[in-house]
Amino acid sequence: MRNDPIHDLTETIDEHERRLSSIDTALSTRSKTIDEIRRRVRELEDKVGKHSVGSVLDKVKTVETNLGNANKRLDAQSAEIANLRLDVRALSRKVRSSGDLPRADFHTWQPDITPEMVQLIRARLAAAPVSPAKVQQLQTKLEQAQEQVAGWDRSREAAIMAVQAMTELPQGAERAWRKEKRTWSAFRASGSRPTGEEALARHRHDEAVRARRSETVALAQSKEADEAACATIRRRVQDAVAQDLVLPHWCDIALGLFSPGKPDRIKPWLDAATKLIRYRLLADIRDSLHAYGDRPSDETLAAEYDRVVGHCSDVRR
């Protein structure tokens, strides 16, 4: 057993665990000491009337100094605990790796998740769909353009009737003649029939309606692909932790070790792992150490990057 590296590493881990337990006990004792000091401060405050102000202030300063020293020691011991935990994790990983244990595969996803599915999900993230409000706005503009055409047509009919009336008016009806002439002149000044604006408004409206219908279908397909991909990822992650497979190093770094002994943290951990792997697929991250890679220049992927990093950080804490 003396030459067994796994045995030696296991003993080292056990020693670190004993040190962690000892430090946790020391922290608990320090906390009790601080509580006792605070109690004494309160007693001093109650006895201010029985002692000189200068004496009380000296005692308070002494207590504050002791509290400051105690907090410094606690901070130092907390940092030591954090470092020890990192060492334990590293040693645990070396023990598992040296034992030639099976590893989880979070890199190969075809045929369950195809490149076409990934492309659909990316397209959905980058989509800027035509909103119902935009369609309604174009519909209103089309109706206004149609009303302009209809108004021109009514003006033409009135002008034709005015010309006919001008030819049929009896002599001496100068006032009526001038009225009909004004109607005719106003029509001639109105220009040609405004069909161009109406045609442009109709084209824009029809294009928006077609785009919205197409986007609705595309978004439905993308949502279906996204849900299927996430379900596949989550199943594989669950199987990996259930079989106690060695997870990729980037997964341990981003999420921390999976802790089945804490049931309330299992679902958040699985959710974060699913989102992290989904992001690596979307951003085509293949780095074996860095979980997220560099922050993308693409705004859509950059937003996903920020969400995933924040989610993983919350779980790791």
**Cβ of 264: how many Cβ atoms within 10 Å?**
7
The number of distinct structural domains making up the chain is: 1
Query: What pLDDT does residue 6 have?
Result: 59
The listed range with the strongest mean pLDDT (22-26, 134-138, 178-182, 233-237) is 233-237
**Predicted confidence (pLDDT) per residue in 148-205, tens digit:** 888 888 888 888 887 777 777 676 677 777 787 788 788 778 888 888 888 888 888 7
* Residue-level pLDDT at 308: 94
Is the pLDDT at 222 greater than 70? The verdict is yes
Q: What's the pLDDT score for residue 242?
A: 85
- Residue 242 token pair: 């259930």
Q: Is residue 268 part of a domain?
A: no
Q: Report how far apart, in Å, the C-alpha atoms of 88 and of each of 27, 81, 82, 198 are.
A: 19, 10, 10, 74
Angle at 198 between CA 194 and CA 201, to 5 degrees: 145
Residues 6+ apart with CB under 8 A from 132: 212
Q: Which residues are within 8 A (CB) of 26 and not within 5 positions of it... i.e. 6 or more apart?
A: 77
d(CA 123, CA 243): 35
Residue 271 lies in a domain: no
- Percent of the chain clearing pLDDT 90 (strictly above): 18
pLDDT tens for each residue of 56-105: 667 767 777 777 777 777 777 776 776 566 556 655 655 555 456 788 88
For residue 64, being part of any structural domain is answered with: yes
Q: Read off the pLDDT of each residue in 36-55 and give the average, rounded to a whole number.
A: 68
Q: What is the pLDDT of residue 154?
A: 87
Residue pair 305/264 in contact (Cβ under 8 Å)? The answer is no
300 vs 261, residue with greater confidence: 300
Render pLDDT for 256-288 as a digit per residue (tens, 0 to 9).
776 655 677 788 889 999 999 999 999 999 988
Question: Could you tell me the pLDDT band of residue 1, with boundaries at 50, 70 and 90?
Answer: very low
> Is residue 54 in a domain?
yes
> Token pair of 90, please?
């590293």
Is 149 within the bounds of a domain? no
Cα–Cα dist 306/290, whole Å: 15
Tell whether 9 is covered by a domain. Answer: yes
Is 81 a member of any domain? Answer: yes
Domain that holds residue 73: 5-98
Residue 84 vs residue 18, higher pLDDT = 18
* pLDDT tens per residue across span 102-149: 888 898 999 999 999 998 888 877 665 667 787 788 788 888 888 888
> 3-class DSSP state for residue 115?
helix
pLDDT value at 254 more than 80:
yes
- Give domain status of residue 14, yes or no: yes
Determine the average pLDDT of the residues in 290-316: 90
Residues listed for the chain: 317
Average confidence score pLDDT of the chain: 78
Q: What is the pTM of this model?
A: 0.51
pLDDT value at 238 more than 70: yes
Cis, peptide link before residue 115, omega less than 30° from 0:
no
